[in-house]
Amino acid sequence: MDSHGQYEQQVVWAVVDTGIGPLLLAATRAGLVNVVFHADEPVRGKALRRLADRLGAEPVESPGSPLLREAIRQVDAYFAGERRDFELPLDWSLISGFNRQVLRELASGVPYGAVVGYGDLARRVGQPGAAQAVGTAMGANPLPVVVPCHRVVESDGGIGGFGGGLEAKRRLLALEGVLPEPLF
């Protein structure tokens, strides 16, 4: 507790090696708050500074933290093909409004092995003309992989964009059986 009797924000982080490269996982007492692709040292440093600014607490590396241990276990199991759903508390504090609404619908309504179009997802949240805004929400997703923005594709069959890169999106969709495994 701080001097005013309030609980201080705690932010812990760890890096997990995955089939799409290193992911930084960060958590607060409320739950997993951020997943960052390509978490080499420069990317990690930038992400941790951004988290400190946004959450008002300096993130501490703590892979053994109870806040992260289960998230790490579930991410490892997902990439090993042993887990289809993440059952983790999520801290949604890095996103709000329409973007949060869209991401919550995505997390609860698009299961493993399925995809949804940007326009379809817009309709699901009651904004049928907001396909482009859904794309913006996907790009702002602070919890990729766990909140599966890789499952959102173009209505014409195109793969669409992805913050982790198109190769990572293809690998995630292949892992879930939506696309064939890359040959090389």
Residues 6+ away with beta carbon under 8 Å from 38: 21, 22, 164, 165
- Kindly give the residue spans of alpha helices, DSSP state H, lying in the chain: 41-55, 66-79, 97-109, 118-124, 131-139, 166-175
Candidate list 103, 149, 152, 175, residue with the active-site label: 149
56 counts as catalytic: no
Active centre residues (catalytic): 149
